[in-house]
Chain A
Amino acid sequence: MSELFGHEDWWVVIVKAVMIFAFLVVYTLFNIWFERRLVARMQHRIGPNVHGPFGLLQSLADGVKLALKEDVTVKAADKVVYTLAPILATIPAFMAWAVIPFGPEASLFGTMTPLQLTDLPVAVLFILAITSIGVYGIVLAGWSSGSIYALLGGLRSSAQMISYEVAMGLSLVAVFMYSGSMSTSEIVDAQTSMWYFLPLFPSFVIYMISMVGETNRAPFDLPEAEGELVGGFHTEYSSLKFALFFLAEYVNMVTVSAVATTMFLGGWRAPFGIAQIWEGANHGWWPVLWFFLKTLAFICVFVWLRGTLPRMRYDQFMRFGWKVLIPISLGWIVCVGVMRKLSTEGMLDGDLLNRQNLIVAAVVVGIVALLSFFIPEKQRPEPEPEAEFDAFAGGYPVPPMPERSAKS
């Protein structure tokens, strides 16, 4: 962790904070466009292509339109909480980015500064804690709307986010064990020789799945299931308040992608091979590009999932989270712990337990974990059919009682 964190000039901090904010807002606009274009290609369409080059200004136009809409406050709403909820959902989404490392130390207006707003010894815990606060925004939005639909939507959203946060947190524990730190910049430094998604493949897979659940995205977008529900927790919201929820959702999507990049894909480090060919790839401002590309890759995965998978049922979803992801996470953490202990004690020098074999084993376990997703539930024996009702049993036609059906 650079000793500059916390001891920088005030203007450097402000400039970096504004840059992160601008990056996130622009990235959100870009993401909406990008998602629509990509999912359109997957569905044999073109997607928005009218406003601006390649339709890039489409989401800007949509945003302006959204802002100019009438701001409706429903009669039954609890006004204060109703107004507070979207703010409460948005601010944590941005705050998590304070500790995301965009790059190493670089020159900012002649001052050397790490491309990261700040760092903490427990930065990852800070991210998890702060993003959890966003759930309050959702619960309160659902509750304060004074509408049953919104309330149910808010409960579903929060239940889902909390459930998957457990698996998400557990999947990160293995990273902490490997890197020996919870500081994001140190985790990135620890991945200099190898990115963690290889040795910690099961964790990576679990994180990938839980981050989709965490952001309420397809195929886990049950709380907002358009076409099935009215709209989830933000049913009663309009105009800028709705825009804030929308913004928070997309920023959260980028946040979990950025965390995944930092934890498993080497953070801002240049992809395999580039740094070997080109010395400057990991210096100056270039790492921001690698970081951007890596998060974009995760966004692509999000869109690919959305384009491919149908929405899950709520009970399947919960069962998967609690009965599959969390037990596998726990088991895997135990494995990693034992391995770490053995290797630090120098007990892994045998031919069988060398590093490569362990990586292969980890990959196999990860694939098995992924496949376990597809093991069908045990079939319950079908209830025996009731004896058919004979309408003419007594010689006269008699209509069946409710829940019985007459012989056809």
Chain B
Amino acid sequence: MSNPLQELKEVAWDPIAGFGVTFRTMFRKPVTEQYPKEKLPTAPRFHGRHQLNRWPDGLEKCVGCELCAWACPADAIYVEGASNEDLADGSGRFSPGERYGRVYQINYLRCILCGLCIEACPTRALTMTNEYELADNNRADLIWEKSDLLAPLLPGMVEPPHEMMISDDHHDYYKGKTLPIVEAD
């Protein structure tokens, strides 16, 4: 401050320097994205809508533990667990192990997409996608059911309920065992 040159600059130049900033900015590329016309990809770990994942044989990863619902600061998740049953035709089994999520709802009117639920999930059943276009014109459709949230069936997956295909021991699922590769004819 004691430097007289510095002081002169502060009095005489600094107030005008802003004009240079705006002038220069005029010739720079605007940062605007033409959003509805051009959709740019999000950051890879963007917090979009949720997804309920499956095991390679199509069984659900969700065990109905409700940890996500407990973690949720906005109280947007509702889970009702139920027990799998080992029936002869496999119609009582939705996930390997003992329990599964019978009802799974996320209320996107409440959800703040903070991601605490996916941090809480012990089986990595709940993750987030990059999808962010979640608007709707009514409240009811913004409560997403399990059927809306479940990941699509990939090749080799079979829609539950069905018996455990990878192994009879549900621990093998968590150890990363996959379906046996069947040679095509």
Minimum CB distance partner of B32 in chain A:
A46
A 237-267 binary contact with B (CB < 8 Å = 1; else 0): 0000000000000000000000000000000
Complex Cα spacing A376 to B15, Å? 11
Question: Using a CB-CB cutoff of 8 Å, which residues 1-44 of chain B contact chain A?
Answer: 11-12, 15-16, 18-19, 21-23, 25-26, 28, 30-32
Complex Cα spacing A394 to B172, Å? 78
A42 contacts B31, CB within 8 Å?
no
What number of B residues sit within 8 Å (CB to CB) of A? 15
Across the interface, which residues of B come within 8 angstroms of A304, CB to CB? 19, 22-23
What number of A residues sit within 8 Å (CB to CB) of B? 17
Across the interface, which residues of A come within 8 angstroms of B26, CB to CB? 38, 41-42
Question: Which of B15, B22, B31 is the one whose CB lies under 8 Å from A45?
Answer: B31
Q: Binding site of B, secondary structure by majority: helix, strand, loop or mixed? A: helix
Also in contact, A307 and B22, with CB within 8 A (given A371-B12, A374-B15, A376-B11): yes
Q: Is A72 an interface residue (CB 8 A)?
A: no
Complex Cα spacing A44 to B23, Å? 11
Also in contact, A44 and B18, with CB within 8 A (given A371-B12, A374-B11, A376-B11): no
B11 contacts A41, CB within 8 Å?
no
B30 contacts A45, CB within 8 Å?
yes
* Min distance, Cβ A41 to any Cβ of chain B, angstroms: 5
* Most B C-beta atoms less than 10 A away, residue of A46, A308, A375: A308
Question: Using a CB-CB cutoff of 8 Å, which residues 1-58 of chain A contact chain B?
Answer: 38, 40-46
B11 contacts A308, CB within 8 Å?
no
Complex Cα spacing A309 to B17, Å? 10
Complex Cα spacing A88 to B18, Å? 38
A46 contacts B30, CB within 8 Å?
yes
Across the interface, which residues of A come within 8 angstroms of B31, CB to CB? 44-45
* Min distance, Cβ A303 to any Cβ of chain B, angstroms: 9
Complex Cα spacing A46 to B28, Å? 11
Question: Which of A40, A375, A376 is the one whose CB lies under 8 Å from B30?
Answer: A40
Complex Cα spacing A116 to B137, Å? 57
Also in contact, A44 and B25, with CB within 8 A (given A304-B19, A308-B18, A309-B18): yes
Minimum CB distance partner of A375 in chain B:
B11
Across the interface, which residues of B come within 8 angstroms of A42, CB to CB? 22-23, 25-26
* Min distance, Cβ B78 to any Cβ of chain A, angstroms: 41
Across the interface, which residues of B come within 8 angstroms of A374, CB to CB? 11-12, 15-16
* Min distance, Cβ B66 to any Cβ of chain A, angstroms: 45
B25 contacts A43, CB within 8 Å?
yes
Minimum CB distance partner of B27 in chain A:
A41
Minimum CB distance partner of A307 in chain B:
B22
Minimum CB distance partner of B37 in chain A:
A50
Question: Using a CB-CB cutoff of 8 Å, which residues 129-155 of chain A contact chain B?
Answer: none
* Min distance, Cβ B54 to any Cβ of chain A, angstroms: 43
Across the interface, which residues of A come within 8 angstroms of B30, CB to CB? 40-41, 44-46
Also in contact, A308 and B28, with CB within 8 A (given A374-B12, A376-B11): no
* Min distance, Cβ B116 to any Cβ of chain A, angstroms: 34
A44 contacts B28, CB within 8 Å?
yes
Across the interface, which residues of A come within 8 angstroms of B22, CB to CB? 42, 304, 307-308
B 75-115 binary contact with A (CB < 8 Å = 1; else 0): 00000000000000000000000000000000000000000
* Min distance, Cβ B122 to any Cβ of chain A, angstroms: 45
Across the interface, which residues of A come within 8 angstroms of B28, CB to CB? 44
Complex Cα spacing A40 to B12, Å? 27
Complex Cα spacing A309 to B141, Å? 47
Across the interface, which residues of A come within 8 angstroms of B15, CB to CB? 373-374
A 349-387 binary contact with B (CB < 8 Å = 1; else 0): 000000000000000000000010111100000000000
* Min distance, Cβ A296 to any Cβ of chain B, angstroms: 15
User: Residues of A with Cβ closer than 8 Å to B?
Assistant: 38, 40-46, 304, 307-309, 371, 373-376
25 A-B pairs (CB sep. < 8 Å) = A38-B26, A40-B30, A41-B26, A41-B30, A42-B22, A42-B23, A42-B25, A42-B26, A43-B25, A44-B28, A44-B30, A45-B30, A45-B32, A304-B19, A308-B18, A308-B19, A308-B21, A308-B22, A309-B18, A371-B12, A373-B15, A374-B12, A374-B15, A374-B16, A375-B11
User: Closest 10 CB pairs between A and B?
Assistant: A42-B22, A46-B32, A41-B26, A307-B22, A308-B22, A308-B18, A46-B30, A374-B15, A308-B19, A44-B31
20 additional contacts, CB 8 Å, given A41-B30, A42-B26, A46-B30? A38-B26, A41-B25, A41-B26, A42-B22, A42-B25, A43-B25, A44-B25, A44-B28, A44-B30, A45-B30, A46-B32, A304-B19, A307-B22, A308-B21, A309-B18, A374-B11, A374-B12, A374-B16, A375-B11, A376-B11
